[in-house]
Amino acid sequence: MSSSSLRIALPAGQGGTDATIEIQKNGVSAGTVTVTYLGRVTAAAWKVDAATGARNGTITGTGLSKSQNWKLSEVAGSGEVSLPIVASQAALNSASAGVFLESDSRVQVKLPAQVAGGAGTWRVSFAPTSGAGFSALSPATRLDVKYTAPKISRLSSTAFAVTGGAAITVTGTDLAALDATQSDALVLRPTSSSVNSGQDIDAVITSKTQTQIGFTAPAAPAGQYRVVLKSGLGESADSGRTLDKLEAVAVSAVTSSSTRLLAGGGKLVLTTTGLGANAREMTAKKITAKLESTVNGRTIARPVALKWLSDTTAEATVPAGTPGQNADLIVYRSGIAAPAVTLTYTAGISGSSKAVLPTTGGTVKLTGHGLSGTFVLRNLNAGTEVQLDDVAPAADGKSAVITVPASAEGIYQVKFTPSGTFTGAPLAFTSKAILTVTDNG
Lowest mean pLDDT among 217-221, 241-245, 323-327, 418-422: 241-245
DSSP-derived secondary structure letter, 385: E
Q: How far apart are CA 232 and CA 324, in angstroms?
A: 60
The whole-angstrom separation of Cα 341 and Cα 339 is 7
* Backbone dihedral angles phi then psi of residue 284, each to the nearest 5 degrees: -65, -30
Residue 31: how many CB atoms within 10 A of its CB?
A: 9
pLDDT tens, position by position, 70-89: 999 999 888 899 999 999 99
Range with the poorest average pLDDT among 4-8, 320-324, 420-424: 4-8
pLDDT value of position 42: 92
- What does the pLDDT read at residue 114? 85
Instruction: List Cβ neighbours of 384 (8 Å cut-off, separation of 6 or more).
Output: 378
- Tens-place pLDDT, residues 92-143: 999 999 999 999 999 999 999 888 767 899 999 999 998 888 988 888 898 9
Domains plus CATH for the chain? 40-147 (2.60.40), 151-249 (2.60.40.10), 255-346 (2.60.40.10), 348-437 (2.60.40.10)
Residues 6 or more apart whose Cβ sits within 8 Å of residue 418: 323, 324, 347, 370, 372, 373, 397, 424, 425, 427
Instruction: Name the pLDDT band for 32 (thresholds 50, 70, 90).
Output: low
How far is 189 from 182, CA to CA, in rounded Å? 16
Mean pLDDT of 382-391: 95
The predicted model gives 33-45 an average pLDDT of 80
Q: How confident is the model at residue 308 (pLDDT cuts 50, 70, 90)?
A: very high
Question: Does residue 37 surpass a pLDDT of 80?
Answer: no
CA distance 37 to 134: 8
pLDDT of 293 reads 94
Task: Give the per-residue pLDDT at 20.
Answer: 62
Could you tell me if 404 and 390 are in contact, meaning their C-beta atoms sit under 8 angstroms apart?
Answer: no
- Say which residues have a Cβ less than 8 Å from residue 18's Cβ, sequence separation at least 6: 34, 35, 36, 37, 131
Please state the separation of Cα 83 from the chain's center in Å: 38
Which tens digit of pLDDT belongs to each residue from 396-408? 999 999 999 999 9
Q: In the prediction, which pLDDT does 112 show?
A: 92
